[in-house]
Each structure stands twice: as structure tokens, then as C-alpha cells.
Amino acid sequence: MVLSPAVHEPPGPPRTAERCLESARTLSTPTTGGLPQVHTWLRDRARANEFTTTPVPFAELDGWSFAPDTGDLVHRSGGFFRIRGMRVTGAAGPVPQWSQPVIDQPEIGVLGMLAKRIDGVLCLLVQAKMEPGNINMLQLSPTVQATRSNFLRLHGGAATRYLEYFTEPGRGRVLADVLHSEQGGSFYRKRNRNIIVETDEDVPLHDDYRWLTVGQLHALLREDNMVNMDARTVLACLPWDTTEAGPDDAAAQDTTDVQSWLNDAKSRSSLVSRLVPLTEVEHWRRTERAIGHEDDRYFQVIGTAVRATNREVGAWSQPLIAPRGRGVVAFLVSRARGRTEVLVQARAEGGTPDTVELGPTVQCVPANFHGLPDRHQPRYLDLVRDAAPGRVLYDTLLSEEGGRFYQAENRYLLVEADDEVRDAATPPGFRWIPLRQLHTLVRHSGYLNVEARSLLACLQQSA
Amino acid sequence: MVLSPAVHEPPGPPRTAERCLESARTLSTPTTGGLPQVHTWLRDRARANEFTTTPVPFAELDGWSFAPDTGDLVHRSGGFFRIRGMRVTGAAGPVPQWSQPVIDQPEIGVLGMLAKRIDGVLCLLVQAKMEPGNINMLQLSPTVQATRSNFLRLHGGAATRYLEYFTEPGRGRVLADVLHSEQGGSFYRKRNRNIIVETDEDVPLHDDYRWLTVGQLHALLREDNMVNMDARTVLACLPWDTTEAGPDDAAAQDTTDVQSWLNDAKSRSSLVSRLVPLTEVEHWRRTERAIGHEDDRYFQVIGTAVRATNREVGAWSQPLIAPRGRGVVAFLVSRARGRTEVLVQARAEGGTPDTVELGPTVQCVPANFHGLPDRHQPRYLDLVRDAAPGRVLYDTLLSEEGGRFYQAENRYLLVEADDEVRDAATPPGFRWIPLRQLHTLVRHSGYLNVEARSLLACLQQSA
């Protein structure tokens, strides 16, 4: 799956674009080594550390219990997160109102990527991180990936490595710093701080961490379940021209029309979502081992026991969200009008902080739509799933965050639209947007949802 | 109070800045007439229409009542807004937690300003609007100022004039479209859509509406209680160079550092606010005529009966928020470093959608701090209140939104800081920011609070 350079940033000042492509394509420096060395390192880290996740009954969760008054699943510290209920009303579509379990975590986590120029090439310090929900145990994560509860050491364990670069002012040059949402179908108004800080300091290197070039990370994005969700959303925020701290030339692109279209969708949406006690959630059943929907759709909340040798604490237990099917997340892409454009959807989700954000063309778990009439099937799903191989620019299995999701693997696709699709009238709620405008908007909160940001990172992959 | 041109946008491409200053300073066109004609029109409109607001006991409010289960003050339609309770925990400062009444209105209102070039000068269509809480009955408001309940005609009255320019796509060129917050001390996560649409159409002119040049509006901003809050926040979103739809050259200014500083404040804040039933609010008492704090600070919720001849319906009643004292809202301004900078505060408020936004240097009701020790007095309050006259660039009484606030009049100030203040270390939570960066940030949600946006509009006033 190779994206031609034309997918990137035509037109633009050639010098800037060239410099950027060069930086993004650099697959190694004398210090980072080539991709084979990266794989060797990952195998070593997997061997050096022990990490097991075992689903257990809720009663065996250490420190977690169902609150007597609300039925919420809470930690005895009052920290980390809670499984509560969310009631959604006024939604568009076939189901105008529902209630469901949701993760409530009213604190801002840090997703911090430390950057440094090594041999003149911008490199990022990634972590070989094990998370309980990872389908393959170990994935590449940002330098720091920590909730506030974690870095305040609520768990009583070790300090978060490299955190000081992101919490102490003046430790480096900030290349990006944006609060972004997470999955609006599972989190209630959660947001994380996506930060990239460039340092000139000598950075002590722990065995679980390694400098990779941006080009290496983009190449690794084409491997199944390799680059985790947090690394993808931070990568999406990287200024295109990484040789300058400022907004790249994409910022000169006017986004007023897109903002207006999105605000129109927001103001038309009558969706209201509120937290409710978990006991008030309807059509969901709690057993000893799972909270699941009576139709066995959507997801289950399960309990897990975790053992690790390379985390802040050696053993813990926690709830996780286990999806009931594999999702499809896709952008239709067009280069028909002399610039790269993607087809976005104004997508309302119950847990999205401001209700509606720009999402991918397709974002669904097809199994959830089994048995529903054709008119309720997701738009463009067939088109991306059945695309001719020549039109598929990217097709990789990527995981959602393994600290909250259990083996949540989705198929991410970039599919080139044919002229007929590109020229057809877009249905309500869909719009073609130049890639450059997405690059401008991703520097601010509230525009791109997490799935769209993942795809944006994949769109930037080169070589 | 004259702002020298240097306050505006030095440095910058001279042609753009000159064009802009020229447009902003134009005080009349053959069609709009001069300022005296504007005042004559306003007097005529006041005479032509009858409008009275009378405080009444809650029991006499038509259609409003206290819900038996929650004690919330609600309308029988379920629409408009509700007075509910808000519980705030984890706040910084002397009072870490409290509960209070709050306006809950989970819908997006439209603040729409229609623009048109008349005789080559950009003009805005303003409305002489009467609102029940206005201290002087009539103030200048945007072309459209309507909640969704209003423009869906939940009140059973007449349609909102000129609404179609803002709700039908393609009726004009969108110059700005941003969702902005309202007062975080009184509203729970309320936001309005600030839109400016430029039209080429012939616009039928109703008696209560009039085209004003941007220069006229800026001049009128220097009159007490003349330009209402909604008009001010929309004006703040006007691109500086109104001859181009795109972001002005201020967008080229890098805002990454400011974003990072604000996100740091957001992630350090542990403030969490949640809606609760009004009956659960502590230290507030409800009488027949008011809900007030037991110390008689902050504000009261009162009921009012309204009669009007020029609104969608002729008579109605509604609750209003009546502040217990006059506020001070001020920016310290500096031109010491060759560009205009203002001292902003990262301000956490319970009802702010994402908790922390950039606020003015000073934003308080001094009476609320009577009797508190010196260390709890608002920073910089003395400095702006006791500034030498030569340093006061702007000093005008402006009202908060008369549709929700009863006679809420605040003193808005722009005060030039002396070199000593400018060069001193800023206390935590304060930061000098170039005006150009505020112009960039105000084009997106979640950065500037409503008081800072008002001051930004005042900073743009010229001549």
C-alpha cells in the first residue's frame, strides 16, 4: 500500500514540501537504526517483560466494586475512571434515544511525544508499551501516555518516565498541544492532551523506549496492530513542516466554510446526553462476568486481572470495554480536483464533548447493523469494503487504546473514490474537505474525532 | 477615549492594515447616515414601541413553575431554558466547592450579523432590540439573536426576521462562524453560534433594523449600554481585514505556545461541575419573589412579566438573573514591545464548557469580595480601578444579555500598563498575549470567554 507523494500536500511551496517529504521518508539515522533493528528491539522487549491479562468475574477485581446507591463500577480511591450510565435523547437516525454504560473520567490525560533532531532528522521517542487490552500485548505508544491519576501516582507505584518534559514549562519547543476527544461511543466527554515537545537535551534512554524517525513510524503504521491509538492521534497533530514550530502553510487555508458547515450540524442536532446511575441503564444486563446488551450487540464491560513486569505497578485489576465485533473505519479520498480531499461525515455521538465532530466517511461495526433494513445500513460501507484493490491506498488492522478496550481491533482503510462518486451530490451530513484544511483544524479542539485523526496519521504515511 | 491607530495591528502589511482602518473608521455612507441619524432612529424606535418589564412573584409567572421532584424552575413546554442547580468541586482558590443556581439551556442559539458592502464600505445590519433585562430598554443587537426554541417558534409567535440568511446554506459568503461560550458563572455549558454572513442581495429593511458601518458600531461601543453583549461577541469574530473572507494575516501568527499554556491550566484544574436538582443547592434560599444566596452576594433569580409591541409575542413572563453588584471587566494593555499585547488570565468557571478559558486581566464583582482578606482580593483590580486618566484607553458601562440578566451592568476598561507592570513577572495564571493571537484564537471555540470577547471588540474600536 503505497501512497504516491501527490497524496501529500499539493500544491504548496516546493521547498517546504520537499523538506517535509524528505524528513517523513527517512527510514533510519545512524542512531535509530533501520526497520529490522526496530523489529528486533520489539521482540526483545516482548521477551524481557512478562505481561498477562486474564478476564475475571467482577467480584475478583481488586479495589473495584459496584457502588451500592448507583450501581456504578468504581475504584476505591475514587480515581482512575468509573463505569457509569449515559442517557442519550434527541438523536437523529433510527434510534432517537437510548441508555448505555460509559466510561467517565473527568480528567485530562497526557499523550506526550518527545521529539529531537538526530543527524538532522526529526525523531520521536516511542515506548514499547504493554496494555491489558492489547490483542498482541505490545504496541508502540507515545513517550508518555498517562492519565492524571497515573502521573499523580494514585496507584502508589513508580513515577511516569519522561513526564517532566511535558509538565515543566520551558523543557523544549512545543510543536503541538491540543486537547482532543476520545471515542464518543464509549467515553463521556473524555479528552486528552496531545503534546509534541522538541528537545535539545541529552535524553537518557530506558530499554522500553527508542527514537524512531517520522518515516519509520509512518512505515510501521502499515503493520497490523503496531502503532497504538494514542501514538496515532499525536502523530496526526504533527505540523506538516516539522522544521518550523509554527502552523504550516496549511494554516493559510481558510477553514471558515467547513466550520460553518460543522456548526450548522451542531446547531441542528438535538442530541443531549447526560450521565445517569448505571442501574438506570435499560436493556443491558449484568452477570458475574460481564455487563452486556440484551441483543449481544455493541460491547461488553468485563473485568480483568493484569500482571506486568515493566509498568508502574506489578499487578492490578481493572474493567475493560470489549467490543462485540470488528469495526470498519474509512476515508474516501479523491485527487480529482488537483488537491487531496477526503469525504468527512458530521458525526454525532453521545459522549463527544460537543456532540458533533468530523468523522471518517465510514465508521461502524457492521455486526451491529445485522438484520436492520437497508435504509439503516451505514452509507458508503459497501463501497469501501468492496473497493477494487487498485483503489485501496491503505488497509490495516489497528487497535483502539488497550488501557480501556479489550482486543478492540478495527479495519482502517483509505480508498480512492472514482470520479462518479466524487462528482455525485453528497448526502446530507457528508462533505468533501481538502486535506490541508484537516491539517489546520486538527491543531484545535473539537473538530476531528479520534477515528478521523487516526486516518489522518495514516494519510501522512509515505514511502 | 481615543485609541491611537498603533493599538490596532502593528506590524503588518501596510496595505491591509490601512484598508482595514479605513473601513473601520468610516462613520457613514450615503445610505447609513451619520451618527446623529443613528441616535434619532434609536429614539424613534423607543417611542414607537412599548416595552415594560415588571418583577413579579414566581407564582405569577405564566407557564413557569418549580418541578415537584427537582425544584427546578421550568417552562411548561420543556423548552427555552431551566433554572437548575450546579455543583462545583475541586476549584482552585479560597472556596474549593460550592453549589449554585444555574441556567441550563442545552441548545445552540444563533447570533447572526448580516453584512453588506454599501458604497464600498462593509456595513452590518443591527437591530434596535428590547430585552426584558435591559437597564435602558433598547440596545443594539445582531440582525438575528434567537435561541433555537425561539426560531422554532416554540412560543407560538411570529417568525424570526432575517433568520434565513443564517440557516439556509448559500445565502451569502460566511465571514465567520464560531460556537462561543457565555458567562460560565451563570450558564451551564451554554454556547451560541456567532455568524457573520455577507450578502449581495437586496435586503428588505424593517423599521427596527438599520445598516451601520463597522466604524459607526465601534464609535457606539463607547456609549454606555448601547451595543449589547451579543453584538459585541459577534463583532469580536469579524476578520480584521474584512475585504477578504479568509483568516487575516493574524492567522499566520503562531498560537502554539498560548494553546500549550492554556492546556496546561486546563489539565491542572481539577474543577468538575455537574447539574444537580435545584433543591440540592446549599446556602441559597427561595422566597416568593427571589432565589438568593444567604449572604446576599452573587446574584438572585427573579421572575418578571414582560409586555412588548415589537417582539415575536406581545406578552410573556420569564425568570432572569439579577446580579447583586456592578462588575469590573478589564484588560491591561501594553505596547511596550512594538506590538499590542494584553494580559490574559486562564480562568476556570463552573459553567464554562471546557472549564478554563482565556479571560480578561480583571473580571469580578468587587462587592462579592467585601470582608475577605487581602490575599483573596482579585489581582490587578486596584491597578485598573485607580489608573491615571492618561492610561485609560476605554472606560464604558456595558450590559450583559438582557434576555437572561436583569440590569446587569459592568464597567469595561482598557488600561495601558506602565513599563514596571509590563516587565514584572506575571503571577501564575496570567500571561501577556499579542492581540494578533487573540484575533486568531477567537475564530475557534473554547479559547476566549465572553467578557474577553467583549473587550476584544472594544479594542478594535477606532477613530
CB B79 within 8 A of CB B112: no
Distance CA B434, CA B253 (A): 9
What is the pLDDT at residue A184?
A: 95
What is the pLDDT at residue B132?
A: 95
Whether residues B193 and A263 touch (CB distance < 8 A) is answered with: yes
Q: What are the tens digits of pLDDT across the range A131-158?
A: 999 999 899 999 999 888 777 776 677 8
Residue B448, in any domain of the structure: yes
Lookup result for grid cell 464597567:
B411
Retrieve residue A152's grid coordinates.
499523580
Q: Which of A174, A257, A261 sits opposite B260 (nearest CB)?
A: A174
Residue A442, in any domain of the structure: yes
Look at residues B362, B337, B338, B346 and name the one whose alpha carbon lies nearest to residue B414.
B362
Mean pLDDT of B244-268: 73
What is the pLDDT at residue A253?
A: 67
**Who contacts B258 (Cβ-Cβ below 8 Å, separation ≥6)?**
B358, B431, B433, B437, B441
Alpha-helix residue ranges (DSSP H) falling in A81-151: 148-151
Residue B14, preceding bond cis, omega within 30 degrees?
no
Confidence band (pLDDT; 50, 70, 90) for A179? very high
The b-or-e profile of B174-195 (16+ CB within 10 A means b, else e) is: bbbbbbbbbbbbbbbbbbbbbb
Q: How far apart are the first and last CA of chain B?
A: 10
Q: With the CA atoms of A42, A46, A51 and A52 taken in that order, what torsion angle do they form, in degrees rounded to the nearest 10?
A: 100
What is the pLDDT at residue B145?
A: 93
Whether residues A246 and B264 touch (CB distance < 8 A) is answered with: no
Distance CA A133, CA A399 (A): 9
What is the pLDDT at residue A462?
A: 36
What is the pLDDT at residue A461?
A: 52
Confidence band (pLDDT; 50, 70, 90) for B312? confident
B320 exposure class (CB count in 10 Å sphere: 0-12, 13-18, 19+): buried
In the predicted structure, residue B461 carries a pLDDT above the cut 80:
no
Look at residues B388, B390, B389, B365 and name the one whose alpha carbon lies nearest to residue B377.
B365
Confidence band (pLDDT; 50, 70, 90) for A49? confident
Whether residues A247 and B252 touch (CB distance < 8 A) is answered with: yes
Give how far the C-alpha of residue B322 lies from the chain's centroid of Cα atoms, to the nearest Å.
16
Whole-number Cα distances in Å, A454 to A4, A7, A24, B396:
19, 16, 17, 49
Q: What are the tens digits of pLDDT across the range B156-188?
A: 778 899 999 998 878 899 999 999 999 999 999
Confidence band (pLDDT; 50, 70, 90) for A309? confident
Report chain B residues whose CB lies below 8 A from the CB of A446. Answer: 444-446
Q: What are the tens digits of pLDDT across the range B52-97?
A: 999 999 999 999 999 999 999 999 988 889 999 999 999 988 889 9
| Most distant CA pair in chain B, distance | 63
Q: Does B257 touch chain A (CB under 8 A)?
A: yes
CB B76 within 8 A of CB B93: no
Whether residues A174 and B257 touch (CB distance < 8 A) is answered with: yes
Alpha-helix residue ranges (DSSP H) falling in B54-172: 148-151, 164-167
Domains identified in chain A, total number: 1
| Most distant CA pair in chain A, distance | 63
Question: How far does the CA of residue B245 sit from the closest CA of chain A (Å)?
Answer: 8
In the predicted structure, residue A245 carries a pLDDT above the cut 90:
no
Q: Does B260 touch chain A (CB under 8 A)?
A: yes
Give how far the C-alpha of residue B350 lies from the chain's centroid of Cα atoms, to the nearest Å.
17
Which residues between 110 and 149 in chain B have a beta carbon less than 8 angstroms from any beta carbon of chain A? 110, 148
In the predicted structure, residue B225 carries a pLDDT above the cut 80:
yes
Mean pLDDT of B189-208: 95
Q: Which of B167, B266, B275 sits opposite A179 (nearest CB)?
A: B266
Report chain A residues whose CB lies below 8 A from the CB of B107. Answer: 267, 270
CB B267 within 8 A of CB A148: yes
Retrieve residue A180's grid coordinates.
482532543
Q: What are the tens digits of pLDDT across the range B28-41?
A: 888 888 899 999 99
**Who contacts B334 (Cβ-Cβ below 8 Å, separation ≥6)?**
B340, B341, B342, B343, B416, B417, B421, B422, B432
**Residue-wise DSSP of B344-384:** EEEEE-TTSTTSEEEE-SEEE-GGGGTTS-GGGSPTTHHHH
CB A232 within 8 A of CB A145: no
Confidence band (pLDDT; 50, 70, 90) for B11? very low
Distance CA B275, CA B261 (A): 28
Residue of A nearest to B189 (CA): A354
Retrieve residue B50's grid coordinates.
412599548
Confidence band (pLDDT; 50, 70, 90) for A127? very high
**Angle at CA of residue A157, ends A156 and A163, nearest 5°:** 110
In the predicted structure, residue B1 carries a pLDDT above the cut 60:
no
Range of the domain at B421: 249-272+325-462
Average pLDDT, chain A: 89
Q: What are the tens digits of pLDDT across the range A326-384?
A: 999 999 999 988 889 999 999 999 999 989 999 999 999 999 998 889 888 999 999 99
What is the pLDDT at residue B4?
A: 36
Q: Does A52 touch chain B (CB under 8 A)?
A: no
Q: Does B37 touch chain A (CB under 8 A)?
A: no
Report chain B residues whose CB lies below 8 A from the CB of A443. Answer: 256, 259
CB B330 within 8 A of CB B415: yes
Strands A327-334 and A409-416: parallel
Report chain A residues whose CB lies below 8 A from the CB of B148. Answer: 267
Question: How far does the CA of residue B115 sit from the closest CA of chain A (Å)?
Answer: 16
Residue A264, in any domain of the structure: yes
Residue A111, in any domain of the structure: no
Residue of B nearest to A197 (CA): B260
Residue of B nearest to A176 (CA): B256
Residue of A nearest to B268 (CA): A108
Whether residues A263 and B354 touch (CB distance < 8 A) is answered with: no
pTM score? 0.91
Q: Does A79 touch chain B (CB under 8 A)?
A: no
- DSSP code for A366: G
Q: What are the tens digits of pLDDT across the range A105-117?
A: 988 999 999 999 9
Retrieve residue B112's grid coordinates.
447572526
**If DSSP codes are grouped into helix, strand and coil, which group holds residue B61?**
coil
Q: With the CA atoms of A182, A183, A189 and A191 taken in that order, what torsion angle do they form, in degrees rounded to the nearest 10?
A: 0
The one-letter amino acid code at B211 reads W
Whether residues A257 and B174 touch (CB distance < 8 A) is answered with: yes
Confidence band (pLDDT; 50, 70, 90) for A313? confident
- DSSP code for B416: E
Give how far the C-alpha of residue B71 lies from the chain's centroid of Cα atoms, to the nearest Å.
29
Residue of A nearest to B274 (CA): A275
Strands (E) in A39-165, as ranges, are 51-56, 64-66, 73-75, 82-89, 98-104, 109-118, 121-130, 138-141, 144-146
What is the pLDDT at residue B33?
A: 86
Residue B167, in any domain of the structure: no
Phi, psi (degrees; rounded to nearest 5) at B432: -80, 130
Residue B409, in any domain of the structure: yes
Whether residues B275 and A272 touch (CB distance < 8 A) is answered with: no
What is the pLDDT at residue B253?
A: 66
Confidence band (pLDDT; 50, 70, 90) for B191? very high
Question: How far does the CA of residue B445 sit from the closest CA of chain A (Å)?
Answer: 8
Whether residues A175 and B247 touch (CB distance < 8 A) is answered with: no
The one-letter amino acid code at B171 reads R
Residue A107, in any domain of the structure: no
Distance CA B5, CA B459 (A): 11
What is the pLDDT at residue B23?
A: 63
What is the pLDDT at residue A21?
A: 52
Q: How many CB atoms lie within 10 A of CB B324?
A: 15
Whether residues B177 and A263 touch (CB distance < 8 A) is answered with: yes
CATH of the domain at B352: 3.90.79.40
Q: Which of B108, B174, B256 sits opposite A260 (nearest CB)?
A: B174
What is the pLDDT at residue B21?
A: 52
Distance CA A227, CA A126 (A): 10
B55 exposure class (CB count in 10 Å sphere: 0-12, 13-18, 19+): middle
Whether residues A247 and B254 touch (CB distance < 8 A) is answered with: yes
**If DSSP codes are grouped into helix, strand and coil, which group holds residue B226?**
coil
Average pLDDT, chain B: 89
Q: Does B193 touch chain A (CB under 8 A)?
A: yes
| ipTM of the shown complex | 0.89
